[in-house]
Structure 1
């Protein structure tokens, strides 16, 4: 296993809320999480993050700030790089991979079925952007 990230996700933050998506398919089907996915061969992890947001939500993201890298999946086959940004544009049009999306405040997270430790990831994302 390598320490180089092979997947990315992005915390899109606006007005003290984060855009969460609900996955339509496995892995993480029916769970709320951040938009993102696997890197393609030869793609930088930042390019992966921006491409995944564009593919899943039809919006463009810029000025990605690194938040953390964590291992995910069975046998830690994924090294997920999480980014955060205030800088994005476009009209949200979810792809077929997304069954729902919402702007959520962090205090609403306990009421949702989310991916593991999403609350910790979001706390770090908000802190990176200067919103503790």
Structure 2
């Protein structure tokens, strides 16, 4: 049995676009990516994903669909990142200080952006999971 994820992120998809954030701090400072972060003790990956979206963007996620779980190596050890996608969320975007910028983008725009590793691939899968919405 594989260890449980210790971090999570979410692709929020609406009208053929995904909401990306530009991280203000390390890790991944100044790179475009999905909102997310580390799990708190006793928290599931789904709970972490919803909490991180709420903390970073002020949005409530109403439904999460698992896209994939990645194993990412870092100087602080391996991360098991559960990636989710959702087309059901509510609220007004109110970015936290962790977010340098945010933008709704089409999948075709992502390759020209400075992003975290394999983001385009992850987003292709996320769009497929939610039916290309």
Q: If the length of structure 1 is used for normalisation, what is the TM-score?
A: 0.95
Mapped to 2, the partners of 1:111 and 1:125 lie a distance apart of: 19
Structure 1 outlier segments of 4+, above 3 Å = none
SS at match of 2:47: helix
The answer to which of 92-101 and 70-79 deviates more is 70-79
Please list every run of 5 or more consecutive structure 2 residues that lacks an aligned counterpart in the other structure: none
* 1:44 positional shift: 1.0
The answer to which of 19-28 and 70-79 deviates more is 70-79
Aligned length: 131
Mapped to 1, the partners of 2:108 and 2:73 lie a distance apart of: 26
SS at match of 2:28: coil
* 1:15 positional shift: 0.3
Mapped to 1, the partners of 2:79 and 2:10 lie a distance apart of: 16
* 1:130 positional shift: 1.0
Mapped to 2, the partners of 1:28 and 1:81 lie a distance apart of: 17
- Pairwise CA RMSD: 1.3
SS at match of 1:111: coil
Indicate yes or no: 2:24 matched with 1:24.
yes
* 1:73 positional shift: 3.2
Aligned to 1:104: 105
Aligned to 1:73: 73
Q: If the length of structure 2 is used for normalisation, what is the TM-score?
A: 0.95
